Chain A
């Protein structure tokens, strides 16, 4: 893990306590934080000024505390479609997912992460998600996936999946690679591949190569 490259991260979070905590964790992991700001306008300025590798953005920020962070992230990605953003919020908001992943076709999920704030306290998960997003992958909070899978809609068809296949599906939806899924479930990568093709067959999905395309396929299946 220590071999991961050092990243330059701009942090946008209005709560001073959380901002300081995030900066501390990032610094501890050898990442550089050229700017840590408290609102959306400063975030856009800071990104223009420092050209960071990634922006870490809170959804609720001043002045209206609704979705300034999300708007700013979408603005940043309009300027630079593959700019990695990791969004975090206090609650699971499915609407956020639609807005985040609904753009730019299948490339939309590249370099996007959505975590719950609680997750930031789990340093290993947080750092894992951060580096995945910075590398152009996808990171979705497990709790978000759990809600989607637990919800109605076409998720009912998931009843056909075996317990292990559902586990694999969840990890896949989080944006993890085959290797990561294999190590997390302590099975071989070959076994994971078999599970995945079985899942795609059962759900009638087209197999696709990159992890973020897979995420989109699964999310789309879950009726987002």
Chain B
């Protein structure tokens, strides 16, 4: 395997790749340098910006060509970056062209590619061709082809090569050269492979999709946007309910209340129709009230109105309403985003309700502190302990928290006390 390395299909393809890469590498770096130079120079008259933007498309093409060659010759399939998405209008097109990240990464590749292509090319020429020449040294010497002639002591002596005063001028010595040629030939693919190893990595990093860390950042941003968006939508929904259906229902309840009063004071009481109408209106009034209450609870579940004034007030109200004596301490320095406030509030509400239901304790302490960008909520009770995340309502909570990179930690030894600690980044 190792011995046959120079003659494998793979080695020949790598050699071909190195040969193709060289002109491509020279062209690439020249193109990038030229467009950058003239683009920057001419950007004062705006033409340069157009040139830069157009060159983005070109370098993306060059990148695609490089990916294609790598796929065909090196069997490495690098997924392409997202396609160029120009903004609206000429200005939008130019702006997206100049700021296109994959374009700049492709430029980076093309610039770094040049020394690599050069190194690969030299490795191929020097090692393969040179080794071949050395391998043929005995034949050359015998045929007296490509040799130099040394005049020594009046005798013309031809030789192949010399290292200082050491002349390869006997056929035994040319056999040594042949050996060096064999070693060189055998070494050549490994040297090239080392150079191509770098090339492949650069290519995957710069011509492929955005690298993993930045892709993660991108996804985090997208998720934060989605979380914020969902929360804004819910707040709007709650506002719509409040302004629309709830207001209408209150209006209805008032009308029915008035009708109720009228019927109660109407004479004569004895008429069976009046009694019946009164029962109907009473019933309608009750039902409208029930509907109103249900709607109110629904709206509260969608977005707790207590949160309008921030977490301190909301957690205070939560503590005041708790069936288990509760105390809320809030020492945050700034208001987190509405979506985060909502999650903190729902966590606290759920944990306090849990403590009241299961802990058997006599008091619960709600504490919200902030450590840099991290919000820490702790809900502690003095109950019997033994709470666990698995198989309880807590798992749903943990799941919800994970959408904002929050974590739930339960410390609940048998016999208590139970401390539920929630950590949430203040910014989603």
Contact = CB atoms under 8 A, between A and B. Distances in A.
Interface of A: 15, 17-18, 20-22, 24-25, 28, 60, 65-67, 90-95, 117-118, 120-124, 126, 147-148, 150-156, 223-224
Q: Considering residues A17, A24, A151, which has the most beta carbons from chain B within 10 angstroms of its beta carbon?
A: A17
A151 B323 contact: yes
Contact of B317 (A21, A28, A93): A93
Contacts of B325: 152-156
A67 B258 contact: no
Q: Is the interface of B mostly helix, strand, loop or mixed?
A: helix
A141 B239 CA distance: 23
Contact of A18 (B251, B261, B289, B308): B251
B233 to A, nearest CB: 17
B202 to A, nearest CB: 54
Interface residues of B, number: 40
Given A17-B251, A95-B306, 17 more contacts: A15-B250, A18-B247, A18-B250, A20-B251, A21-B250, A25-B257, A65-B239, A91-B306, A92-B321, A120-B250, A121-B253, A121-B256, A121-B257, A121-B285, A123-B257, A152-B319, A224-B320
Contact of B250 (A118, A147, A154): A118
Contacts of B414: none
Nearest to A154: B325
Interface of B: 239, 242-243, 246-248, 250-251, 253-258, 260-261, 285, 288-289, 292-293, 296, 300, 305-306, 308-309, 313, 316-317, 319-326, 363-364
Contacts of B322: 151-152
6 nearest A-B residue pairs (beta carbon) = A121-B253, A152-B325, A21-B254, A15-B247, A17-B251, A94-B320
A147 B322 CA distance: 9
Contact of B324 (A60, A124, A148, A152): A152
B258 A118 contact: no
24 contacts: A15-B251, A17-B247, A17-B248, A18-B250, A18-B254, A22-B254, A24-B255, A25-B258, A65-B239, A66-B308, A67-B309, A94-B316, A95-B316, A118-B293, A120-B253, A120-B254, A121-B285, A123-B260, A151-B321, A151-B323, A153-B326, A154-B325, A156-B325, A223-B320
A65 B296 CA distance: 16
Contacts of B316: 94-95
Contact of A90 (B242, B257, B258, B323): B242
Contacts of A60: 242, 305
Contacts of A24: 254-255, 258
A91 B239 CA distance: 13
A150 to B, nearest CB: 6
Contacts of A155: 325
Nearest to A21: B254
Contacts of A124: 261
Contacts of A95: 306, 309, 313, 316-317
Nearest to A153: B325
A121 B254 contact: yes
A94 B321 CA distance: 8
Contacts of A21: 250-251, 254-255
